[in-house]
Amino acid sequence: MVAITTERLPLRPTRAIIDLSALEENYREIRKGLPQGVKVLAVVKADAYGHGVVPVAKRLESLGCDLFGVALCEEGVELREAGIKVPILVLSGFFESQVEVLPRFDLTPVVFHRSHLPLLNRAGEVEGKRIGIHLKVDTGMGRLGIMPEDVPSFLRDLSSYPYLYLEGVMSHLSEAEDEEGAFSREQIERFEGTLETIRACGFHPSYIHISNSAAIFNLKAHYNLVRPGIMLYGSYPDESLRGKVDLKPVMRLVTSILQVRRVPEGMPISYGREFVTRRESLIGVIPIGYGDGFPRALSNRGFVLVRGRRVPVVGRVCMDLTMIDLTDIGEVGIGEEVVLVGRQGGEEIRIEEFARLSGTISYEALCRIGPRVPREYI
């Protein structure tokens, strides 16, 4: 019996279409807003926010992107094995069992605890190379980081390890989307004070960075490196940024109609009978559900596009299937295109709206679109 692999199977019509030219436009738009000499670290963690990390990174590397940011060592290794050459920063640190991976694959760790130092030094000694680290300072995020008052003693410890050096200093802003930015300004002041301390201790790191996507345009705390993430993929972290930078959505989520049925008034649709038709209705079924990242929260409140018009989701979203009410569209055939995120004709559903109706943010909505949804690159 011959085994059937997924490579041999025709793909179902549910797919995420990734427009790499839109990614390129967004990257250039972000660079355009930066002072000369400021470098860009493109955040490509979580499979490039669901867009496919290898194709995205290869396109950005070809455009001259300076560094990549991942969350996990595994993500960095994936990029190296795909042939990515530019520096890769592991933003969420590492576990002791992974420490040897860092110098072996030339990955730069973010360090936020002094216990990291002896582990890294030993790994550097084994590989015969010095390891550059980026020190993370907690200026108010309350997540990972060394407190500013602990930085001098941390640097004294660092000085005792011959295979380590301070390549970068960073922090993270908790309210960068806030246009007023009062707390962000407090964080920046703490960061400035920490930088003064670091220089007074005789350290002069090559990279200084605090700005994520929103901060690049809201706060302009660029230093010499910025970390755009969600904006690369065409989503605004806050509506106030829409007039400051022109972004193009990179992902279009589409499927096709699997079945169309005309049903009578009073017909319950899907689990729990939460939706019952109030008139004779034309109900379509589409092959996508919460197992693909089309969330159950869109039951009876979401929309899709058919023939360039908004069509409501009716009944509970299932794991693999979703029902839509086509009554006002007219006769629609099996196989017709349905757009869940993106533009069709003169109408558009942006990822921000999709996320809001789902009760979440665009970051999570994009990352939820799972691996069984094929990515198609154009």
Residues that are catalytic: 45, 271
**Cα separations (Å) of 358 from 238, 303, 343?**
17, 11, 19
**Cβ atoms of residues 348 and 31 within 8 Å:** no
CA torsion, points 183, 178, 70, 191, in degrees to nearest 10?
A: -30
DSSP state of 25: H
Query: Cα 168 from chain centroid?
Result: 23
The two structure tokens encoding residue 358? 């789902």
Lookup: tokens for 15: 């797919």
For 360, other C-beta atoms within 10 Å of its C-beta total 15
Strand segments (E) across 160-240: 164-170, 207-209, 225-226
Residue 220 to residue 223: CA distance in whole angstroms? 9
Cα(first)–Cα(last) distance of the chain, in Å? 36
The CA distance from 202 to 194, in Å, is 13
Q: Which residue has the tokens 């154009």?
A: 378
Using only C-alpha atoms, the chain has a radius of gyration, in whole angstroms, of 24
Rounded to 10°, the helix 20-32/53-62 angle is 50
Beta strand segments in the chain, E? 15-18, 39-43, 67-70, 88-90, 107-111, 131-136, 164-170, 207-209, 225-226, 251-256, 259-263, 268-269, 275-276, 281-286, 303-306, 309-314, 322-325, 337-344, 347-349, 375-377
Q: Which one, of 163, 134, 350, lies nearest residue 223 by Cα? A: 134
